[in-house]
Amino acid sequence: MDDVDFDELVASVTLREENQAIKSYQNTVAISCPACGSQFDDLIVCKENPTSLNLSKQLDLCVGSADDQAVIFTHKR
């Protein structure tokens, strides 16, 4: 993700949830995933280390880091 402007990416998606552990954004403008090039559904920024995620459905995930935080791009199957 070194060649991606993460602040610009976050400014383009819609914040859906924020708590102590994560920030969750929805990709409402069809941005491509910087890891795989396919459109992603959600962006999750892990604010704490370690962080646990409870997923309610199976998703394909791409993982990276920005500003020393783990970031996860979800892809619905």
Q: What is the pLDDT along the chain (77 residues), one digit of tens a residue?
A: 556 788 999 999 999 999 999 999 999 999 999 999 999 999 999 998 888 888 888 899 999 998 888 999 999 87
Residue 3 has a pLDDT of: 65
Residue 62 has a pLDDT of: 95
The H-or-E segment that residue 74 falls in is: strand 69-76
Residue 73 has a pLDDT of: 96
Phi, psi of 5 (to 5 degrees): -80, 95
